[in-house]
């Protein structure tokens, strides 16, 4: 694969970013959805990008903070969009800041609005089929730099890495708890977090694991479980909030709905149905925080993680566990969900608790 991709159209829209898999995914969306007035170019090498924009008239440039100084004084670029972690940072420069870690649809909308304001371009035109530029070849990728989002640290231009201290009691919305590493106390961690947040605001805990061990964690059984709630949602009931209140139990001040007992039933629920359920709960009920204790068998797992305002990933420092963590993070990036990592907090669990559980099991 060459260092550049092109969509055969008129005008030039240049894209270059340090996060290779992330921008590959976004480039595909841009090239299919943006107006039919551009040729789209994707570069992974900033030097090749600079060579191109210095020699070729560029209508729109989408790049990142890391390359902003390089492109600052390049003349003739009509519109510059800069990926940033601080929306206010570039407003006084004429560049348009684009918050990196948000859904691709919102990024696309902000770019469309920026283009409309400057050029009044028709944004509904169909896009032609991609093809290679004729009569010109571009260098093969050399020195490709892949920068992976670090869950516990954020790398920002001009300052060293620093740990970000987060106060979960100030977060409102969906909080996801997920780990590719099992039997390390994830559910207990999720419940304790929910109980802590419940001291400040209404919280609902949902366990979306195939084998939740609900009888162990929730000995006080209620008459209905999560499956009944899904059924209620599908009935388009108007008394949704009242119905949920009749299903909930309480543990340490935190409300919960018993998990589904049959894993095969859990697997039949589609990802879009889960997302609709979560939206309905936050819109129609009293809860300000929804705690999701997520398992591997849930459909649409990555999309659910993306919907979370924060994701906690418990782990242990053990070779097999760290290998699973690495694979999970790489999978997120490769499938276009690398933005989930920017909202992820990794929580190291104590080995002692795991060893005690294992010893008890072996007795």
Q: Is residue 346 part of a domain?
A: yes
What pLDDT is stored for residue 174 in this prediction?
95
- Judged by phi (left if over 0) then psi (alpha if -120 to 50, else beta), residue 266 lies in alpha
The DSSP call for residue 225 is B
Same domain, 89 and 192: no
CATH of residue 121: 3.40.50.10850
Structural domain includes residue 80:
yes
36 — pLDDT class (breaks 50, 70, 90)? low
CATH code of the domain containing 191:
3.40.50.300
Q: Is residue 157 part of a domain?
A: no
Question: Is 295 a residue whose pLDDT tops 60?
Answer: yes
Q: Residue 359: what pLDDT?
A: 45
Residue ending a domain, choose from 147, 181, 215: 147
CA separation for the pair 93, 225 (Å, rounded): 54
pLDDT value for 88: 57
What is the number of alpha carbons within 13 Å of residue 77 lying toward its C-beta?
27
> Which pLDDT does position 169 carry in this prediction?
46
Does the structure show a pLDDT above 70 at 145? no
- The pLDDT of residue 362: 38
In a domain, 154, yes or no: no
In a domain, 336, yes or no: yes
Domain-terminating residue out of 89, 115, 147: 147
pLDDT digits (tens, 9 = 90+) for 126-137: 333 333 334 443
Lookup: tokens for 54 = 């210095």
Mean pLDDT of 50-56: 89
Give residue 23's pLDDT: 84
Q: What percent of the chain has pLDDT over 90?
A: 28
- Among 259, 255, 277, 279, CA closest to 194: 255
Q: Examine the pLDDT at 301 and tell me if it is beyond 90.
A: yes
Tell me whether residue 232 is in a domain.
yes
- In this predicted structure, which of 80-94, 138-152, 223-237, 320-334 has the lowest mean pLDDT? 138-152
Residues 29, 172, single domain; the answer is no
Read off the pLDDT of residues 262-272 as tens digits, 9 standing for 90 and up. 888 888 999 99
Residue, of 331 and 85, whose pLDDT is higher: 331
User: What does the pLDDT read at residue 118?
Assistant: 62
pLDDT digits (tens, 9 = 90+) for 172-215: 899 999 999 998 989 999 999 999 999 989 999 999 987 866 66
Who has greater pLDDT, 302 or 10?
302
Q: Tens of pLDDT along 73-123?
A: 888 888 999 988 765 555 556 789 988 777 777 888 889 888 887 654 444
In this structure, are 80 and 202 located in the same domain? no
Lowest mean pLDDT among 62-66, 217-221, 299-303, 339-343: 217-221
> Has residue 160 been placed in a domain?
no
CB atoms closer than 10 angstroms to residue 237: 14
Report the alpha-carbon distance of residue 31 to residue 26 in Å, rounded. Answer: 9
Same domain, residue pair 98 and 172: no
- Cβ-based burial of 324 (10 A; exposed 0-12, middle 13-18, buried ≥19): middle
Q: Is 255 a domain residue?
A: yes
Same-domain check for residues 43 and 125:
yes
Nearest Cα to 247, choosing from 260, 238, 264, 235?
Answer: 260
- Shared domain for 122 and 177, answered yes or no, is no
CA-based nearest residue to 350, from 158, 184, 121: 184
Residues 53, 183 share a domain: no
Pick the last residue of a domain from 147, 177, 200.
Answer: 147
Q: Could you write out the DSSP letters of every residue in 119-153?
A: H---TTPPPPPP-PPTT---PBP-S----PPPSSE
Q: Which whole-number Å values give the CA distances from 73 to 63, 77, 82, 88, 113, in the listed order?
A: 14, 10, 15, 21, 24
Local confidence band at 246 (pLDDT 50, 70, 90 cut-offs):
confident
Longest alpha-carbon distance in the chain: 74
pTM of the entire predicted model: 0.52
Mean pLDDT of the chain: 75
Domain that holds residue 37: 4-130+143-147
User: So what's the pLDDT on residue 241?
Assistant: 64
pLDDT reported for residue 300: 93
Structurally, the chain folds into a number of domains equal to 2
Among candidates 204, 182, 210, 332, which has minimal Cα distance to 268? Answer: 210
Same domain flag for 185 and 326: yes
């Amino acid at each position: 694969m060459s260092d550049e991709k092109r969509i055969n159209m008129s005008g030039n829209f240049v894209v270059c970013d340090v996060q290779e898999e992330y921008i590959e995914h976004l480039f595909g969306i841009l090239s299919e959805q943006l107006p039919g007035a551009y040729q789209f170019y994707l570069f992974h090498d900033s030097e090749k990008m600079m060579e191109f924009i210095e020699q070729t008239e560029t209508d729109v440039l989408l790049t990142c903070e890391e390359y902003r100084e390089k492109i600052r004084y390049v003349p003739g670029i009509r519109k510059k969009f800069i990926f940033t972690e601080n929306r206010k940072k570039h407003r006084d420069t004429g560049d348009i800041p684009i918050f990196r870690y948000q859904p691709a649809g919102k990024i696309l909308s902000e770019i469309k609005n920026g283009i409309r304001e400057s050029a009044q371009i028709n944004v509904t035109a169909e896009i032609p089929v991609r093809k290679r530029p004729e009569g010109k070849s571009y260098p093969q990728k050399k020195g490709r730099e892949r920068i992976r989002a670090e869950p516990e640290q954020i790398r920002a231009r001009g300052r060293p890495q620093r740990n970000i201290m987060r106060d979960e009691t100030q977060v409102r919305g969906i909080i996801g708890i997920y780990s590719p590493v099992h039997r390390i106390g994830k559910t207990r961690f999720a419940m304790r977090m929910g109980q802590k947040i419940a001291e400040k605001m209404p919280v609902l805990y949902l366990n979306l694991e195939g084998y939740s061990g609900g009888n162990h964690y929730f000995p006080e059984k209620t008459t209905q479980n999560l499956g009944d709630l899904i059924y209620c949602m599908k009935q388009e009931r108007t008394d949704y909030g009242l119905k949920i209140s009749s299903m909930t139990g309480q543990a340490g001040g935190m409300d919960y709905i018993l998990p589904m007992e049959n894993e095969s039933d859990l697997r039949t629920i589609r990802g879009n149905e889960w997302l609709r359920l979560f939206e309905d709960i936050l819109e129609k009920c009293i809860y300000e925080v929804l705690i999701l204790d997520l398992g591997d068998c849930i459909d649409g797992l990555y999309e659910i993680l993306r919907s979370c305002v924060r994701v906690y990933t418990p782990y242990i420092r053990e070779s097999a566990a760290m290998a699973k963590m690495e694979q999970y993070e790489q999978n997120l990036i490769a499938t276009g969900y690398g933005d989930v990592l920017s909202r992820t907090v990794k929580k190291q669990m104590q080995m002692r608790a795991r060893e005690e559980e294992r010893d008890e099991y072996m007795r």
